[in-house]
Structures are given as C-alpha cells and as structure tokens.
Structure 1
C-alpha cells in the first residue's frame, strides 16, 4: 500500500469521505415519459446476453468436475502436468492460491465437497469481452462466494468463505433474474469498486489511525490486522530485527454486484508481503514459521525472511443514501510464496 504515497491516499480518502457526506437526501426520481410520447412501434427481440444462467450452471459444473479430477488421489499426471491443468481453470488471485495448494502438498491438495450453487449472472451484451458471474455455494461445508470470468474460456477467479454470522446481502435482480454490475467508478455507493482494494489495504496497515479509518468496519480482517502488525514490529525491534507488513491491490480484478438496497457487493483480492531482516549479529537467526516450511526447508534463516500471502474478500458496501462503514463479509487467503537467506 505504501506505493500509493501518503499524499495520494489523503486525496483518495478526502474524495471518498466527501462523497459519503455529500448525500443529504433521497435521490431524485427519474423522469417519466409522457403518455402522448409513447409510440406503438414494436421493440426488436432482445439480444441473448453474453452468458445466461443455464450456461453459467454448465460452467460451474464443468469446473467442479475438472477440479475434483485434478485433486483426485488416483490421478497419474506429473506434478508439472497438474499445475499446468490447474492454471487452465483458475486466474487472478485464485491461481496463486491454487498453485500454493498444489506445491505445498506435493501435488495432492485436498478434494472439495460441493453443494448446489445459487447463481448471480449479470446481463452482459454479446460484445462483452470479459463476462463473469458469481455463485454462492456450500464448499466443504462452508458457504463460499465464487466468481468465474471468461477470456478465451471460463476460469475461477475468486473464492471467499462467508465469515461466521454473516449472510450474503440480497442481490438486485431484473424481471428475468439477471443481476446488475456496479461500474468501477460508480459514485452511488460509499466506496467505488475501484477504490475498495486500496482502502482495505490502508485500513489493514494503519487501522483506526489512518486517513481511511471508518470507511471499513473494525474487525479481524481490518483494524485487528493493523494492531497485529504494530505489535509484531515492536517485538521484532526489541529482538534486534526490522519488520514490516504491506498490503497491495496489485492488478487483481474487481467484481461488483448491485444489492437490493442500492449498495454493492464487491469481490477483490489483496497481496500481503511481510519482511523480517536481522539488524544485529549474524547469529540472531530468524525463525521460519511452520506454514512456510513447504517453501523453505531450513528452520531458521541468517539474514532475511519474506512471506507473501494472497487474500480474497467480499465486502458489502452501503449506498450513499444510507452511508455507514462497509462490512467485510467473506474471506479466504493463504501463504503463496516464501523466500529468504
């Protein structure tokens, strides 16, 4: 998150807060068409969307079958072959998470148990180059929000498990059951989708003391993380190390659905890079955490340790007509890379 710079973050926060406080009443009602202006010319047949609910259901089933086959214990493909095939059905942050699942288990990641999905399919025009859809499904006994996107073919891009006590907000659907997409720069919600990653990164680093404090609700994935970073930095200093942990939105895709209350359900990813470096004598070794032993065999390192995690979230963002702190309702994340010397 540091790459944005304090000046840029101040400007971002000021713009967001100004948008929240600018709303002083209900939005104006749209103008109606006078009855005399209505013509009797029949409208042309509606064009079929880029993806229909039936097609989305087929793609979801195809993914789960392929995923199960790759994870199956009887699969005879080589390690590299499995990774190649896994990369062909995943993208974005989900590819990094999937790659770690294969590498950390010797190409034997646990198989998944899937329930029947509830699909949320936006009505994209046929010309849309990157259509996507979401699915709420029970995965391994936990409600999980998935998002699939299409380039040359469909791939899983995001997966986040609903947190305890959280429910998916009601998604706005049209008469035919299609969902609506919230544009990246949409200003009818308290945090535009294009800003959700940087805002979350800032809150996770600075907590209640940062310029974005109050835009995201406090909790274990936001302000608590900032407190943990501050405590770890102080402990490392006392033990003769330097420590820092930085979140970044990188170039991960963002997906946003309109909720029935006028807000947005936004799905996005962040990377977290934690670095520890010795500052004193070379015999002050850095311990390697157990969860990183699949990438670093040594129990301690002499000079530096760098851990990279990939996290995926779903956050319910209120409409400007009812401003309040956005709430992170779903998450999944793992260590995806580790290095040091």
Structure 2
C-alpha cells in the first residue's frame, strides 16, 4: 500500500479506536505472563542495559496491537469501500494472509468481527539494528484467549493467530529484569525440538501418527495423531468407493517464532498448509462431491475428475527442555479452508 493510502487507512481506523477499547472493557484480561521469540532473528542478550536499546519497545508493541486490530475491525464492516479486501490482506503476512483472504471471499465480503480484550505483551529483546523484529500478544478474542504474533518488514503486520485449546494455559515466558523476553535461534538445541524442525515434525506426526519416525515427539491429540487416523480412514473409504485420496501437510514458506519459557523450554508458533486431493479412478460418472465448505470457491456440487482442497493452520506448541525430555504439546490452534480447485 502506498504511503498516502496507509495514512488514509489509519485515519479511518482512528474513529473506532475508542470503540475498540469499549468493546474490550468487559473481557477478562489474560494472565500476566511473559514476552516472545522468533526463528529468523538473532536475540539481543538479556543483559542489555537499557530498554531504549531494542528494536521494539513494549510501548511500541502496544500501539501496534491497537492499530492493527482496530484497522482490521474497520475493514471487516461490510461496505463498498474501494480496495477493502486488498487493504485487509495488506495488514497480514505469513499464514494470516491466506486465512484473511478466505475470510472475505467465503462470506461475500462480510467476515466475522471480533471483540478484543486488553493484551499481555511478550516482546523479545532484539538488537536496535534487527531487520525483522516481532512480538506476541495474548488477548481474548470474543472471550477466548488467543495468541497473536506481529512481525515487521517494511512495516508491522499480523502474522499468526491461534486460540488456546480448552484446558490449556500459556506456559510462563522467561523475562529479563526489564520485562523483555528471549527469542530462540532456529537451531537452538536446548529444547527437544529445535524451532527450525517444529513444522516438519508436526507435519510428519499429522500424516503418520504413532507409526512414523517422529512418533512420540509431539503428544497425541486432535491436531496430531487423530488427524493421521482420519487421513488413513478416509483413504481406505475412498479406495473402496473407487477414488484415490491423499492429504499432505507442508511448511511452505511460513515463518516460525519461538519464545524461551521459564522452565527452559520453548513456546513455538508456526503455520502449516494441508493439501487434500481426491481423484476418480473408475468410470467418468463416478463424480466427486464438493463439500459445502468449498462451494464459495467451486461453483459446482460435483466434479468429474479431481478435487483439491488447501487448508492453512496456525499452531502454538509448548516444547520441553532437553533436561525434561517429553512430548511437545499443541496448546493453541486456528485455521480453515483457504483454497479449493477441481476439474
């Protein structure tokens, strides 16, 4: 977005900032836990003497949270504003980009609006010259605790959003004396799964379950082993019905963010795409039904040869330290169908 367009959009959002505060006033604030960390950035040692010597301060992070959530809410109000979808997508990066695009296209440009609570901020202490700083916030979204990660390249954008799963709590984040968190390097070996391997390990468990080489590295559950069981079951059913079926998880180019936890472990946030393909193998009259959830992208109830569904999923996983070896646990998730094609 050009500079003048950005200023105009911020002016548009300014009118709802007070309203955003009012909406969040009745939401329970998240517990006062700690800060955040990323795979692509080099953390500044926590012994840095002054909070002014950081790439982003906690006060700046608070402003970013308010600006982006308020602007996003303004754009979600259904209107004939020219370029509204482009501006909404331009607020995002990483896995949030396909999710934001699908939210508009699948609802006839009337995506759901959110009520945000006050955030608890987890801001890594990056060096002042860090080119790609980021931070995480924990806030209630429609009353449900949600982890948000914001990343800066040319400017700040929302990169990830994942709701804490029922019964899960955010692990305590390690902070220095000035309240700044520590970001883990991609190859950090003090935890059972280094941040750079979190995506492929999770993808493997979701595809192969308890029988794969990564079995036991990530705890069983609805976003890991149960997905693998679902894929195996649907593959067998499709074969019996004369179709071929497969479902593959991949990291694509989605970023990874990792924060040091107080127990020496890590909170790792990342995205995966899931591509599910169904193909006919028999006569041409054996049509493939198009699920209702994909009808916004495919203008047909059945397809003759191939159906391809792409989902984008965002996770937060608590990874234990090497000293306390155990299975990593997925504690937060959000995602959905972001693309569908067929012939």
TM-score by length of 2: 0.85
CA spacing shift, 1:46–1:282, aligned 2, 3 Å: closer
* Unaligned stretches of 5+ residues in structure 2: 1-47
SS at match of 2:232: helix
CA spacing shift, 1:229–1:46, aligned 2, 3 Å: closer
Shift of 1:64: 1.2
**Partner residue, 1:8:** none
Cα distance per residue 1:211-252 (max 9 Å; x no partner): 000000001000000000000000000000000000001110
Pairwise mapping of residues 241-280 of structure 1 onto structure 2 (< 5 A)? 241-280=243-282
CA RMSD, 1 decimal: 1.1
Shift of 1:48: 2.1
**Partner residue, 1:55:** 60
Q: How many residues are paired up? A: 296
**Partner residue, 1:15:** none
**Partner residue, 1:30:** none
**Partner residue, 2:96:** 94
Shift of 1:45: 6.3
Shift of 1:281: 0.3
| In structure 1, C-alpha distance between the alignment counterparts of 2:201 and 2:261, rounded to whole Å | 20
| In structure 2, C-alpha distance between the alignment counterparts of 1:210 and 1:181, rounded to whole Å | 30
Runs of 4+ in 1 over 4 A off after TM superposition: 43-47
| In structure 1, C-alpha distance between the alignment counterparts of 2:332 and 2:50, rounded to whole Å | 39
Cα distance per residue 1:123-158 (max 9 Å; x no partner): 111110000000000001211000000001100000
1:70 and 2:72 correspond = no
**Partner residue, 2:233:** 231
1:156 and 2:155 correspond = no
Pairwise mapping of residues 1-341 of structure 1 onto structure 2 (< 5 A)? 48-73=53-78, 75-78=79-82, 81-341=83-343
| In structure 1, C-alpha distance between the alignment counterparts of 2:234 and 2:86, rounded to whole Å | 37
Q: RCO greater where, 1 or 2, for CA within 8 Å and sep 6 or more?
A: 2
Shift of 1:47: 5.0
| In structure 1, C-alpha distance between the alignment counterparts of 2:227 and 2:112, rounded to whole Å | 28
- Structure 1 or 2, whichever has the larger Rg, is 1
| In structure 1, C-alpha distance between the alignment counterparts of 2:242 and 2:142, rounded to whole Å | 42
Shift of 1:76: 2.9
**Partner residue, 1:7:** none
Shift of 1:106: 1.4
